[in-house]
Amino acid sequence: MEITAAMVKELRQATGAGVLDCRKALESSAGNFESAVAYLREKGLAAAAKRTGRQASDGVVEAYVHPGSRVAVLLELNCETDFVARTDDFKTLAHDLALHIAFAAPHYHTREEVPTEVIERERAIYRAQALEKGKPEHIVDRIVEGRLEKFYQQVCLMEQPFVKDEDKTIQDLITEAIAKLGENIVLRRFVRYEVGEGLE
């Protein structure tokens, strides 16, 4: 099948990939649009994985105040160059991350940051609950580990389902941006404020 300029243009508009990559994807998928998109996505995510070790020292500080001024988020999102930091895609990502943090109120950035004593406390609670419900001892550990995975998804930002698309996690969202923008992107830090939080 002949790959036309119109086909390449359509794929480029849909994916943001380069002209040569789009042509190659269409050639490898015999002109099938969906297969070409899947090809580019796989290629982009594989390339994104290689970029994660690169230094990301540019970027933006994003401030978000939720309507009603009761919740606010401040975060630093880094990339490799100021060129990417100025793009609409990067700014949108920073805004979406701040919006998500305002909504989902993560306690930790990653599961590695969760203190051991918090994990052990949760384990003890889940174990006691499973035993109280009469679950057999030999499956209690599996139940506890399953509940612990759900706990991580609730309190760890990178594992939370994205508020605008629950089929992807925050980590997926950032990985897709790395693939699209061609640079390493790191959410360096964030803080969430809520009126009255911490007052007894």
Residues 54-97 have pLDDT tens digits of 677 789 999 999 999 999 999 999 998 889 999 999 999 999 99
Token pair for 78: 């880094």
Q: Judge whether 22 and 11 are in contact, CB under 8 Å.
A: yes
For position 12, which CATH number holds?
1.10.8.10
- Cα distance between residue 84 and residue 182, in whole Å: 9
Helices (H), 1-136: 5-15, 19-28, 33-51, 82-85, 88-104, 116-132
Q: Is the pTM of this model over 0.85?
A: no
Q: Are residues 161 and 140 in the same domain?
A: no
- 200 falls within a domain: no
Residue 130: give the domain boundaries: 115-149
Quote the tokens at residue 148.
């612990």
User: Would you tell me the crossing angle of helices 88-104 and 170-181 to the nearest 10 degrees?
Assistant: 180
Is 199 within a domain?
no
Residue 165 clears pLDDT 60, i.e. is over it: yes
d(C-alpha 176, C-alpha 163), whole Å: 16
